[in-house]
């Protein structure tokens, strides 16, 4: 959550915390491609409701959620998706959408790079991508054990960070 400026009141405390949109992308019918959607579902169970965090289960068509995301006016957009980054299956990678070369979307039509670029141009807000390296994205297969483990790990870590952030 670096590069976010907090506005302080006279007491040195934050008067307005940044708003975060976490967008889970993926097709749950295609094995490991379900990773982004599963992270959002787990975060909904792990996080208390909060007005500063928007969790979006975008599925394979994140472009369908641009209206609600723009209306929410996030200060940061975090995309979570299964990726093909040439890493071991289940590896979690932090990527800036501007620096993504050789990382591809798996089973959905709009790559996260194109969606991230659109959101950045539309809202002039930072966009980042947390990717989970996929193995199999075959139709009607369950996610691999390595991706399931990565989903649990990423969900727990994000929930801890965001819970601390909410309390800030």
Name the residue with higher pLDDT: 70 or 118: 70
pTM of the model as a whole: 0.81
Q: Alpha-carbon distance 21 to 129, whole Å?
A: 12
Which regions of 13-105 does DSSP assign to beta strands (E)?
Answer: 14-16, 20-25, 53-59, 76-83, 92-96
**pLDDT at position 3:** 35
- pLDDT tens digits for range 33-64: 999 999 999 999 999 887 789 999 999 988 88
Name the residue with higher pLDDT: 119 or 11: 119
- Walk me through the domains of the chain, giving residue ranges and CATH numbers: 15-167 (3.40.50.1450)
């Amino acid at each position: 959550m670096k590069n976010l400026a907090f506005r302080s009141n006279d007491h040195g405390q934050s008067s307005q915390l940044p708003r975060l949109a976490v967008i889970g992308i993926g097709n749950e019918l295609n094995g490991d491609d379900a990773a982004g959607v599963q992270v959002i579902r787990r975060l909904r169970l792990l996080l208390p409701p909060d007005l500063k965090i928007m969790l979006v289960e975008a599925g394979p068509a994140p472009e369908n959620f641009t209206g609600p995301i723009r209306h929410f006016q996030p200060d940061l957009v975090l995309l979570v998706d299964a990726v093909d980054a040439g890493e071991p299956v289940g590896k979690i990678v932090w990527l800036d959408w501007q620096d993504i070369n050789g990382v591809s979307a798996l089973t959905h039509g709009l790559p996260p790079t194109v969606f991230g670029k659109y959101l950045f141009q539309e809202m002039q807000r930072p966009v980042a991508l947390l990717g989970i390296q996929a193995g199999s994205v075959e139709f009607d297969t369950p996610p691999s054990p390595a991706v399931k483990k990565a989903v649990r790990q990423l969900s727990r870590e994000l929930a801890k960070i965001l819970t601390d952030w909410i309390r800030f």
